[in-house]
Amino acid sequence: MIAMTDVQKHFGELHVLKDVNLEVPAGQVVIVIGPSGSGKSTLCRTINRLEPIDSGSIRIDGTELPAEGKGLAQLRADVGMVFQSFNLFAHKTILENVTLGPIKVRKMNKGEAEKLGMSLLERVGIASQRDKLPAQLSGGQQQRVAIARALAMKPKVMLFDEPTSALDPEMVNEVLDVMTSLAREGMTMVVVTHEMGFARKAGDRVLFMADGQIVEDAPPEEFFTHASSPRAQDFLSKIL
């Protein structure tokens, strides 16, 4: 579903992704962990071309990402992304936040989009808030809306970049629960997170990134018990 081949990315002199190769089969849940600045966010952002790459290729479901134009909007719609900061449209209602993409990009009519939107808001447990504005919701609720909004595009892949890092502790689980059920339903997911309980429960695979490289790639249990590189061991000793 995702195939990154020999991907290189610089920010000026800084080499942020160093020859990254990654294949994610359909339905797999990949957890990405690693120190701050190791390139985790950049990895996610290149997968839907929020960041252009210098060289290499990225395919989603067999199709190479175009650099720009109409094809890019379509492919981007196939790749949902949820950020640490919820990034909801502040002046639109919860329901409008979810229906805007399907109407604009997927060319759905309003009634159809609202039906889909409500079913997704129900799925993330927030349907009763449909007419509120984002600021009237808690952080955990806003993040669940952001997930519903991404799902409304019927993506093939969902990317999560530290989706619970900005939340108060008591709200983390309500978001992780939604993500866990999504994983169980077979969504292909790339999740940057330091929530190790979630990684163990929902992850099929853990990637450890350091200095722009994927240093380890192993099933969660193996990674947490037998990380082989000193950098991963050092990192784990600090967070576990």
Concatenate the DSSP letters of all residues of 186-236 into one string: T-EEEEE---HHHHHHH-SEEEEEETTEEEEEE-HHHHHHH--SHHHHHHH
* One-letter amino acid of 38: S
CB under 5 to 8 A by kind: which of Mg ion, ligand ADP, none does 37 bind? ligand ADP
- Among residues 4, 20, 41, 58, which is the contact residue for ligand ADP, using CB under 6 A? 41
Q: Which residue matches tokens 């784990």? A: 236
For residues 160 and 223, which CB has a smaller minimum distance to Mg ion in the complex?
160
| Distance in Å, CB of 171 to ligand ADP, minimum | 22
Do 207 and 29 contact (CB within 8 A), yes or no?
no
Which of 8-16, 172-180, 196-204, 214-222 is the region at the interface with ligand ADP (rule: CB under 6 A)?
Answer: 8-16
How many residues are recorded in the chain?
A: 240
CB under 5 to 8 A by kind: which of Mg ion, ligand ADP, none does 14 bind? ligand ADP
How far apart are the C-alpha atoms of 52 and 55, rounded to whole Å?
A: 9
* Per CB under 6 A, 40 contacts ligand ADP: yes
For residues 130 and 205, which CB has a smaller minimum distance to ligand ADP in the complex?
205
Interacting residues of 215 by C-beta distance below 8 A, sequence separation 6+: 34, 208, 209, 229, 231, 232
CB under 5 to 8 A by kind: which of ligand ADP, Mg ion, none does 16 bind? ligand ADP
How far apart are the C-alpha atoms of 85 and 115, rounded to whole Å?
A: 26
CB under 5 to 8 A by kind: which of ligand ADP, Mg ion, none does 39 bind? ligand ADP
Which of 32-40, 53-61, 70-78, 215-223 is the region at the interface with ligand ADP (rule: CB under 6 A)?
Answer: 32-40
Give how many residues touch ligand ADP by CB under 6 A: 11
Residues near ligand ADP (CB under 6 A): 11, 14, 16, 34, 36-42
Residues near Mg ion (CB under 5 A): 40-41
